C-alpha cells in the first residue's frame, strides 16, 4: 500500500477541547497550505506554521488562497472556517446548511427522543426497503434480521448476475487495498453514498448524528439514511465494476466514477430530499429557506423577534 504523505488524521482524543482552544485567527492577503498537522501561512512578511488543533475558528479575509490539503486538515481538526470582509467586519459565508429554518431538525429531535415515535420511524425506514412486506408489527431485532437476510440475498444475486465471486463483506478501514476487489469496490461505493447522504441531511438542516437505527456516532443518521439505497444503487454498481476490473486498474476511481454517474442519471439527490422530508414529517410545501427567527414562550407560543416588549407583571391582564 502506498504510504500516505504527511501526518495521519488525528483521533478525537488527540484534539484540544473547544474550551481550551484559541477562539479565532484572522488572516488576509495570504496563501494557506498544509504541512503535517500545521496550516502553513505565507504572506509578504514570511511564513508561519499554525497548529490546526488549537484554533476554534479561522476567519479568512480578502486576498486569501487556500489549498484543498489545507481544508482537509481544517476539517479533520474540527476547526470552523468563516469567510469575512476586511478586518472581519462582515461575514460572507461559512459552513452553514442551505436551509435556514429548523423545522426538520426540531421534528427529528422530537421523533428520536420518544421511544414510540423512534420505533415508528425505524419501521418506516425498513418499510421503504421492503415495500411489499408489512413490517408494522416487527420488533427492532426482527427488522435487523430481516434486513440482514435481504442484504445477503442481494450479494448472492449480484454475484450470480455478474460472475464475481462472493464470500463475505470484509474490509480494513486503515488499509483499503487489503480487501478483495469486490470489497474495495463496495467500500468506495458506500463512501460516496455516505458523502451524498451527509450533504443532503445537513443541507436541509437536519442532524447527521440523531439516528433512529444507528446510534452513538456523529454520523448515525447518515448510516441510517444511506442504508435505504445500498441494495438498489451501490451494491449493484460495485459488482458491475468489479466484473470489468483487471489487475492494475484503479478500482476505487472506477467505482467512484460509476457511482457519480448513477447519482446524476438516477436523480438520486432529488429522491433523497423527498425521502428525508417524508421521514421527518415535513410538508413538501414548507419554506425551507425562510430566514425567520421567532422567540419561544412557554404559554403564548411563538412570538415576534425584534419587538421591544414591556415588563410583564403578574397582575397584568393577559
Residues annotated as binding site for Mn(2+)?
A: 147, 214, 227
Separation between Cα atoms, residue 298 and residue 164, nearest integer Å:
61
The cell for 315 is: 397582575
Binding residues: 147, 214, 227
Residue that the C-alpha cell 449480484 belongs to: 158
Strand partners, 24: 57
Contacts of 216 (CB under 8 A, 6+ apart): none
Contact 221, 246 (CB under 8 A): no
Contacts of 272 (CB under 8 A, 6+ apart): 196, 197, 200, 225, 229
Contacts of 304 (CB under 8 A, 6+ apart): 294, 295
Amino acid at each position: 500500500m502506498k504510504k500516505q504523505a504527511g501526518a495521519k488524521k488525528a483521533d478525537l482524543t488527540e484534539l484540544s477541547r473547544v474550551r481550551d482552544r484559541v477562539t479565532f485567527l484572522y488572516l488576509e492577503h495570504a496563501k494557506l497550505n498544509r504541512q503535517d498537522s500545521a496550516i502553513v501561512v505565507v504572506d509578504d512578511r514570511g511564513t508561519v506554521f499554525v497548529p490546526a488543533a488549537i484554533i476554534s475558528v479561522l476567519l479568512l479575509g480578502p486576498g486569501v488562497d487556500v489549498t484543498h490539503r489545507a481544508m482537509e486538515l481544517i476539517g479533520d481538526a474540527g476547526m470552523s472556517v468563516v469567510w469575512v470582509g476586511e478586518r472581519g467586519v462582515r461575514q460572507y459565508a461559512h459552513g452553514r446548511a442551505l436551509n435556514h429554518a429548523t423545522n426538520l431538525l426540531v421534528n427529528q429531535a422530537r421523533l428520536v427522543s420518544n421511544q414510540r415515535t423512534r420505533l415508528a420511524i425505524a419501521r418506516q425506514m425498513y418499510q421503504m426497503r421492503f415495500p411489499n412486506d408489512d413490517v408494522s408489527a416487527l420488533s427492532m431485532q426482527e427488522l435487523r434480521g430481516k434486513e440482514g437476510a435481504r442484504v445477503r440475498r442481494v450479494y448472492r444475486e449480484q454475484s450470480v448476475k455478474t460472475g464475481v465471486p462472493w464470500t463475505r463483506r470484509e474490509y480494513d478501514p486503515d488499509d483499503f487495498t487489503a480487501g478483495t476487489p469486490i470489497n474495495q469496490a463496495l467500500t468506495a461505493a458506500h463512501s460516496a453514498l455516505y458523502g451524498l447522504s451527509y450533504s443532503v441531511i445537513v443541507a436541509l438542516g437536519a442532524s447527521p448524528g440523531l439516528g433512529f437505527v444507528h446510534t452513538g456516532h456523529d454520523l448515525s443518521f447518515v448510516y441510517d439514511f444511506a442504508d435505504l439505497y445500498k441494495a438498489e444503487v451501490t451494491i449493484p454498481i460495485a459488482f458491475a465494476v468489479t466484473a470489468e476490473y483487471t489487475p492494475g486498474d484503479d478500482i476505487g476511481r472506477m467505482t467512484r466514477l460509476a457511482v457519480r454517474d448513477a447519482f446524476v442519471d438516477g436523480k438520486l439527490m432529488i429522491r433523497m430530499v423527498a425521502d428525508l422530508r417524508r421521514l421527518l414529517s415535513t410538508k413538501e410545501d414548507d419554506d425551507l429557506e425562510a430566514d425567520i427567527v421567532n422567540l419561544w414562550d412557554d404559554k403564548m407560543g411563538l412570538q415576534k423577534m425584534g419587538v421591544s416588549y414591556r415588563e410583564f407583571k403578574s397582575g397584568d391582564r393577559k
